[in-house]
Structure 1
Amino acid sequence: MNEVSTFNATGAEVQNPDTMPHSIEAEQQLLGAVLTNNDIYDRVASIITSSHFYDPVHARIYETAAARIAKNNLASPVTLKAFFEDDDGLKELGGPAYLARLAGAAISAFAVRDYAQMIYDLAIRRDLIALGRDISTKAAKVDIASEPKEQIVEAEQALYQLAEQGQTESGFQSFLKAVTDAVNVANAAYQREGGLAGVPTALVDLDEKLGGLHKSDLLILAGRPSMGKTSLATNIAFNIAKAYKRGTRPDGTEGAIDGGVVGFFSLEMSAEQLAGRILAEASEISSHKIRQGDMDESEFRRFVDAAKQLEACPLYIDDTAAIPISQLAARARRLKRIHGLDVLIVDYLQLVRGTSDNRVQEIGEISMGLKAIAKELDIPVIALSQLSRQVESREDKRPQLSDLRESGSIEQDADVVMFVYRGEYYHEREKPDDDSPNMAEWMEKGEKLHGKAEVIIGKQRHGPIGTVELSFTPEFTRFGNLVKPWQQGGGGDF
């Protein structure tokens, strides 16, 4: 246990440069304090985890003590003894008696946060050294399969993880931690009004079906051209950004307590065009009128007020065309680090670039990359997708999973697959001649379809599939909540 550490208690460097930075004494003092007084654990739990301990035996002692304290059970040398009877590492240190020595040697409880911070800082230094060596080794090895640009992205990803989570890779985690995380998600849903575990889209029926947008989920929003994919995505982005409120979450961390920061990769439309769509929706003035400048004074005032309201929205747009998936990931990381990021939208998947020459493999690489971003940044990612033309050849033009274009991996990687369908669009193209006997029937059907859209949930890994009806106002390219027949007396669309 008395290894020579690279940094002594004062932070001065000592002789052996090959020994990784650590402080066995700080670890012993912290563990002793926790075993003596379990209330101390709450002071350090937000700073360190078991992975930050240099000595693996100390890491196991801390993890076991933390598990007992989390269940409101006593963690002391006596209660922990049973868990370490057969621990070979502890036997080398003197067996369960070492636990008693730890508790007996604890000097001061008031300095425990300083010890925790020291353990954390030394762990980060060790990770930085390991990361630096890894970067250096890869850079020195000239390999055609590992381009310098890719190495920079990998290094940035590892540094981002180290800055955000305090570790370069997560590795295996105990089932207890996974269960605790699951309970925290359920608790957040229980605490939130309306019972949503995810970020609300403000489209009530869709939220009810999905439970909001869940962290680490990849959601595919697919449809044929003119169905309104981009409109629905911008509506969701605006609704989330507009509702953004920052504060302390139930788990004690700082962040969005309502709504969220939205990142929008617009690969087809320019940022200006996208902002125009959002302004049309917010001001309730048709995008055609905005483009032509054909507004009266009251409309223009409404337009300016909407623009002022939008200025405060945390909605960030990147309109770089044909962006590689690695660059997209790097920019999303940077956005989260600088401004925060709660939801990412990509419009659309087929316009992102991969590295493969084979189109099916390239689409597979992109969909896997988007799912990886969702997991790494712990945010929902909504990716828009085109559908194949075979939809048009069917009598019922409602999309289905087999219509996803170019790769089955999109369906495989996605947690949720949604299709936008507007029957009104197809119905207008089937208009009979004015003197046709079918004209009355066509008009009657048109009235039923007018102003309505469907979001068909074709796959949902953690919930039901089915159809959600929404209202659609083409002039403002806006999707909204559809008033049900039993709500007719209580107001209009909201």
Structure 2
Amino acid sequence: MAQSDGDLTDALGRAVDRIEATGNRDAVKSGRTVPTGFRGLDALAAITCPSVTLVFGAPGVGTSTFALNVAMSSARAGIPALLVSWESPEDEVMARLIAAQARVHTQKIRTGQMDEDSWQKMAGVVQLLADLPFQIVPGPRTFNRLEAVIREWFTDRDRAQGGVVILDGAPNLARLASSSEQAAWDEHSRLSANIRYLAYELGVAVVVTTPVVREALRRVAVRPLLPDVAYSPAYVHDADVVLGLFREDQWERESPRAGEADVIMLKSKHSPTDTVTLAFQGHYSRFVDMRIEDKVSAR
């Protein structure tokens, strides 16, 4: 049988090439895989280009901090990162960024009460941060403007590099555009679909953060579940990976798990669903691997 443009031969060849590239040590350099900076999570399910990852949790659990950590890990690996935030102004994002990289208490940075040691630590990372392929922009009020921002950022990049786009609080776009409950529902569905389409068209990894629904906050401890994702189930449906963040000490001050954070993989199209435990260092605005082997347990 003569081969045609739709023959499986070429498609199979491309699939094998992708599998080899993703599993190769140079996968990060090729831009196919975005390192989260967390060994256990990367081993469980790598964030690939293109894809959409949804990160959610209760207010104050650290979804914005987690997403910023992923962006920094990507940039430090040479993969371009763009952070679009509806949740925090640029100066607050920069304060978190410097705190995490210099290991300077965020309160010192916000209040300007810096001692000599803190200044030295900060000076040591400022140039490093300035040289990274990392851009921060405020969240626009319309999707058309967001799309223009992402495309403009993307045109300056080598497509082979891949890239990661963090949309911190993106569902706010749909809230701004809606005038009624039904309109909001439609806007959220449309926004979610558009984000996915754009990620796959450009070949980039997109990370979207969102809170839990208000009803979930009535529980004693909000260990996130898929139905807890706020605004619309479309965000869950359109995501390749859904991560829920949970910190027991957020609800129980005397918790024996103080300083620990669970990253619960509630959905993954290409891997099993498990939980990875990280250390949460809120004073440095960062999550880090546990000092002992990451606790990865099936749920």
State whether TM-score is above 0.5: yes
Is 1:461–2:294 an aligned residue pair?
no
1:179 CA drift (Å): 2.0
Rounded Cα–Cα distance in structure 2 between residues aligned with 1:455 and 1:174: 41
1:308 aligns with 2:127: yes
**AA partner of residue 468 (structure 1):** V
Give the match for residue 50 of structure 2. Answer: 216
Correspondence list, 1:378-397, <5 A: 378-397=203-222
Higher relative contact order (CA 8 A, sep 6+): 2
Q: Is the 8 A contact 1:267 1:348 kept in 2?
A: yes
Whole-angstrom distance in 2 between the partners of 1:200 and 1:227: 21
- The answer to whether the Cα contact below 8 Å between 2:244 and 2:263 also exists between their aligned partners in 1 is yes
**d(CA) in 1 for partners of 2:27, 2:131:** 26
1:283 partnered with 2:102:
yes
Aligned to 2:66: 232
**SS of equivalent residue, structure 1 residue 83:** coil
Residue 399 (structure 1) aligned to one of 224, 231, 237: 224
Give, in whole Å, the separation in 2 of the partners of 1:352 and 1:175: 41
Q: 1:204 touches 1:481 (CA, 8 Å); kept in 2? A: yes
Tell me: CA distance 1:453–1:339, structure 2 relative to 1, closer, same or farther (3 Å).
Answer: same
Return the alpha-carbon distance in structure 1 between the equivalents of residues 98 and 178 of structure 2: 38
Cα offset, 1:195, TM superposition: 9.9
Pair 1:178 & 2:97 matched: no
**Which amino acid in structure 1 is aligned with residue 72 of structure 2?**
F
TM-score, with structure 2 as normaliser: 0.88
Provide the rounded CA distance (Å) in 2 between the counterparts of 1:327 and 1:310: 27
Q: Secondary structure at the match of 1:288?
A: helix
Q: Say what the alpha-carbon RMSD is for the aligned residues.
A: 2.4
Tell me how far apart the structure 1 counterparts of residues 249 and 208 of structure 2 sit (CA, whole Å).
25
* Aligned-partner Cα distance in 2 for 1:405–1:320: 19
Residue 6 (structure 2) pairs with residue 83 (structure 1): no
Whose strand proportion is higher, 1 or 2? 2
C-alpha distance in structure 2 between counterparts of 1:338 and 1:486, whole Å: 37
The alignment of Structure 1 onto Structure 2 pairs a total of residues equal to 286
CA distance in 2, matches of 1:327, 1:321: 6
Query: Are positions 1:205 and 2:40 aligned together?
Result: yes
- The Cα shift of 1:294 comes to 1.2
Query: How many angstroms apart in 2 are the aligned matches of 1:396 and 1:293?
Result: 35
**1:478 equivalent in structure 2:** 286
Offset from partner CA, 1:190-226 (integer Å, 9 cap, x none): 331699962211210111111x211121110011110
Q: AA paired with 1:203? A: F
> Is the contact between residue 347 and residue 384 of structure 1 (CA under 8 Å) also seen in structure 2?
yes
SS in 1 for 2:252: helix
- Select the residue among 251, 254, 264 that pairs with 1:426: 251
Given the alignment, which residue of 240, 248, 258 partners 1:450? 258
Gaps of 5+ in 1: 1-81, 88-171, 245-259, 429-442, 488-494
How is 1:327-366 mapped onto 2 (pairs within 5 angstroms)?
327-340=145-158, 342-353=163-174, 357=179, 358-366=183-191
- Structure number with larger C-alpha Rg: 1
Aligned to 1:243: 77
**1:350 and 1:386 in contact (8 A); partners too:** no
The answer to whether the Cα contact below 8 Å between 1:417 and 1:458 also exists between their aligned partners in 2 is yes
The one-letter code matched in structure 2 to 1:384 is T
Instruction: Pick the structure with more helix per residue.
Output: 1
Alignment TM-score, normalising by the size of structure 1 = 0.55
Give the 3-state SS of the residue equivalent to 1:352 in structure 2.
Answer: helix
> How far has the Cα of 1:178 moved from its partner?
2.9
Give the Cα separation in 2 of the matches to 1:284 and 1:363.
37
User: What residue number does 1:273 align with?
Assistant: 92
Q: 1:417 to 1:288 in 2, by over 3 A?
A: same
SS at match of 2:232: coil
* Cα deviations by residue, 1:392-450 (Å, 9 ceiling, x for unpaired): 2223420100111121111111111111111111102xxxxxxxxxxxxxx4xx2x211
How far is the alpha carbon of 1:277 from its aligned partner? Answer: 0.6
Partners of 2:226 and 2:6 in 1: CA distance: 34
Cα distance, 1:484 vs structure 2: 2.8
Q: In the alignment, is the contact (CA less than 8 A) between 2:56 and 2:209 conserved in 1? A: yes
Cα deviation, 1:257-297, whole Å, max 9, x if unaligned, reads xxx00011111212221111100001101111012121211
| C-alpha distance 290-457 of structure 1, shift in aligned 2 (>3 A) | same
Deviation, structure 1 residue 235: 0.8
| Separation in structure 2 between the aligned mates of residue 355 and residue 280 of structure 1, nearest angstrom | 34
Show structure 2 runs of 5+ residues with no match: none
Task: State the alpha-carbon separation in 1 of the partners of residues 120 and 269 from structure 2.
Answer: 45
Q: Secondary structure of 2:264's match?
A: strand
Deviation at 1:173, TM superposition (A): 5.5
Counterpart in 2 of 1:374?
A: 199
C-alpha displacement at 1:362, in angstroms? Answer: 0.6
Q: CA deviation at 1:320?
A: 3.6
1:485 and 1:199, CA in 2 relative to 1: closer, same or farther beyond 3 A?
Answer: closer
